[in-house]
A and B are shown apart, each in its own frame.
Chain A
Amino acid sequence: MTVIPVEKKVLSENQRIAASLRDRFEDHGTLCLNLISSPGSGKTTLLEQTLGGFRPEERVAVLTGDLQTENDAKRLARYGFPVQQITTGGVCHLDGKMIERALERWSLDAIDLLFIENVGNLVCPSSYDLGEEAKIVLLSVTEGEDKPLKYPSIFAKSELLVLTKVDLLPHVPFKMEEARANARLVHPGIEILELSCATGQGLEEWRTCLSRRRETALQRICAARA
């Protein structure tokens, strides 16, 4: 018997692809954001509101992942920006290869801001790097405020937590302060936004946050090239 030490990441193949995607995003100055949440937390609705707020000449695109259907892509395509559905056929997350394949159909030269809407799931997507600039996790007030403690990995890896459907707060037992505290326990530096697509509350902050991220990313890319 021979023991061969390996010491490799199990998902090293995905990480290799993610690193090459990250290089490509950097080269083209594309800001890529990976949106993750449980099913029904409002990722598609938030993206609809977001796309609706861009001017037609802005260079925005969306890759949306789903287990089976193409409904999300249809909803998002109405805003006139390029949208592609990645149907995973039962796989509960998007991986680097799926993103690479989808991008074969687009030129990153024409995309400044790329949203990836991951499959509705708080567990699996957290293990797969897609070369994104940042992961953004959504949590709706119709879920439990203990979700950050139950699924620490995704909250620890996300730079921004968006608490959605806050217009429903009077009708649900969700404890906002506890949710924020739980998220901060897992990830002390996490940025937190509260918003409601129904009333528009928080959407302005969300847009500001997007443009700030885009600016920071551009500055970093320019500094690296200089």
Chain B
Amino acid sequence: MTVALVETRISEWRAAVLRGGAVADTDADELEGHLREQISDLEAVGLAGDEAFLVAVKRLGEVHQITAEFAREHGERLWKQLAMPRPDDGRLRSTVTMLAFAAVTAVLIQLARVLTAMPGASEAWFVRDVSLFVLPVLAAYFALVRRMPGRRALVLVAIVGVLALAVNLFPFADGAGTEILVAIHLPVALWFVVGAAYVGGDIRASARRMDFIRFTGEWAIYYALIALGGGVLVGLTIAVLTPIAPGAVEQVITWVLPSGAAGAVIVAAWLVEEKKSVIENLAPVLTAIFTPLFAVMLLGSAVVYGVVGSGQEFDRDLLFVFDLLLLVVLGLVVYGISARDGARGAGAMDAVRLVAVVAAIALDVLVLASMFERVGEFGFTANRVAALGLNLVLLVNLTVTAWLTARLLTGRGQAVRVERWQTGYLPVFAAWVAVVVLALPPIFGFA
């Protein structure tokens, strides 16, 4: 009789521990084992079953304290949780807030379009400044949602202000290469501002940085999905309505499209937060598919380049292609790391990752060597400096990543070291991007 009662109590207790998702099933096994051991020891000294249960539970501690402690240790598990249980009005408020911010950026984009049409403005200005009308809104959204302290928020406002002023006051020459560089790098610089807001200004904590890395990847996936759906919608709208009203449709689309693209930035960010477990399950699958494929591709390319030799005439843009390649590899690696279970040891996936990284490094070194010859031949231009700098930044990151992964595989290192390295390296990326946006244009005379 009492045995059955105690069993019920234990399973109730176990369910309470598991609620909230911070404690995994196996952890609950471990805790339950402890509880049962304590109960049988107490019974052995004469306590009745239910008394023993009460004492044992008390010794183990308040369930919410235990789960909070587990949550602190296993942040990545909470990440998996769909929106924490919260009242319905909370969900409504979150949706309304998101829609409001999406609307703000949608309107701002239209404002930018109007400004572009003004005399003195140009298409180039729109391309260069467009991110300033979108990403600061996203940063503001996170600053609000995370209840960021006012002083920290002001720092972010100041950073955005400096960036906006600088790129708009720079006297770029017509069709200047540095202006294109700024157009490419400014969104990245602003993305770091978004990151600072995303972590609520808590930029030093490695775990929070990792959260932001995860967020970035998942945001990209959501955005791509929304863009895909949006593309189908627009395509069908054009196909259906053009026969009736040829001119009007095009007009409407050119107005709707930019606003939709900008609003989707906020919506995607909100979706990442609201529906974490959806993509959380998808992202590891994607990296598991693409890491080996990229490893094969990189290995093949490295061999071909090694055999054919890198003395060929390289196209000027080739280094940018390799930067892009390294970025993708880094993305796969970081993503793979962020999705791996920290407690697990090295696995086959780590080996594949190592192959991909080493092949990418080898390939890049071959290209880099020939690029340096070219620079020696033709001197430095802003483009080459930007491309070489990014390449170097990525190369250092990947080399250390390879080293740490190799140590992990040989059992002499921990996965957490790879993670720390990546989170610790974020400021280097931010610094490099800031250099390209703020320093390169003046250095190269805004040409």
Q: Do A and B come from one complex?
A: no
Show the binding face of B for A, using Cβ within 8 Å.
none
Show the binding face of A for B, using Cβ within 8 Å.
none
